[in-house]
Amino acid sequence: MQKTIETIPGDTEGVAYTFPVFRFEGSDPAAPKAYLQAALHASELPGTVAIDALMPQLRRAEAEGRIRGAITVVPHANPVGRAQYHFGSVQGRFHLGTRTNFNRDFPLLEKPDASALQMKGGTVDERLKHRLLQLSVGHEIVLDLHCDDEGVDYLYVPKALWPGMEDCAAAMGVAAVILWEGSSGASFDEASLHPYLQMPAQQAGLARRAVTTVEYRGLLDVDRKLAQSDADGLYRLLVARGVIEDKALPPLGPFAGLVAPIENIEMVTAPRPGAILFDVAPGDRVRKGDRLATIVHAAGEEGGSTDVFAPQAGYILTRVVRRSTYAGDDLVKLVGDTKSASAREGALED
């Protein structure tokens, strides 16, 4: 294993940001290569601890000569966001200087050429994005590990790669797969796949590619048991795809989770500001008209609360972690059984 330190110059004198990159060399140039990164939204740590639990398995495989394809690992991909503290809370989703989401506005290359990403100017968040994408170019498997507020574990998978990525979902044991196409605001996964979608099919090699945003449940789901379970899922994926050889693992079964297009997601919002009393949790199934939550907007007063109901039957994917809301704020992602009448274009959230 080789460890290097990446340095991203800051926007002011005397400031720079660093993060480690771990590389495992593969023995077979023809084997698929894998890139794993976590915490692009700096406070989303389930993926970081999953990578930490995965590393001993990778080191063991390396020592035993079982790594066939090169593996690049970035356990914490966003030191810029990690340093953004405001009154004691990490502000790791948006760059405070540009107000841009750290997982938006990645460069969309016309071909997979890392040399096109030599960026010296721009703001620090732009330089970070260029470098992360540059590190990932040339890998057939690209996993961007995130988490939601509170939720089940699920994948965002490009429709162009499904059902070819069913083995990945089965290996990781996720509860759901959300299929998307088109634009997602130039998120990291979109930027990773974009150059291959510009190629003729026979050159793109889409059957060998696995590109996904992994949502590892919620912000508070950071513990040893879950980290090890998630690491085991990542390891199974690498074995299933031929990056690592491990004859001791049993073959994968079929994926038994939910699969739905992103157009079916209902972003259920709060009609009033106030305190949230949830009636549902991630993983629940609901019928149309079921109460999802009550918003207490005038505590103690008659008529001081408003109920929120399911617009259609479906599956509760996520809910917000906070218990206070404002009017129009997202409360729940409900994966409907049919297309949402209010389906959002592009990314579901800012």
Calpha distance 298→46 (Å, rounded): 36
Burial of 60 by CB count in 10 Å (0-12 exposed, 13-18 middle, 19+ buried)?
Answer: exposed
Looking at every residue in the chain, the average pLDDT score rounds to 96
Span 100-122, average pLDDT: 90
> pLDDT tens digits for 210-241?
999 999 999 999 999 999 999 999 999 999 99
Calpha distance 31→22 (Å, rounded): 19
- What the chain holds in terms of domains, given with CATH numbers, is 2-256 (3.40.630.10), 262-336 (2.40.50.100)
| Cis previous bond, 32, omega within 30 | no
> pLDDT tens digits for 80-104?
999 999 999 999 999 999 999 999 9
Calpha distance 282→150 (Å, rounded): 7
pTM assigned to the model: 0.97
Candidates 102, 58, 104, 55; CA nearest to 75 is 55
Q: Is the dihedral of CA 3, 4, 8, 9 positive or negative?
A: positive
**DSSP-assigned beta bridge partners for residue 277:** 294
Quickly tell me which residue has 């009154």 as its tokens. 87
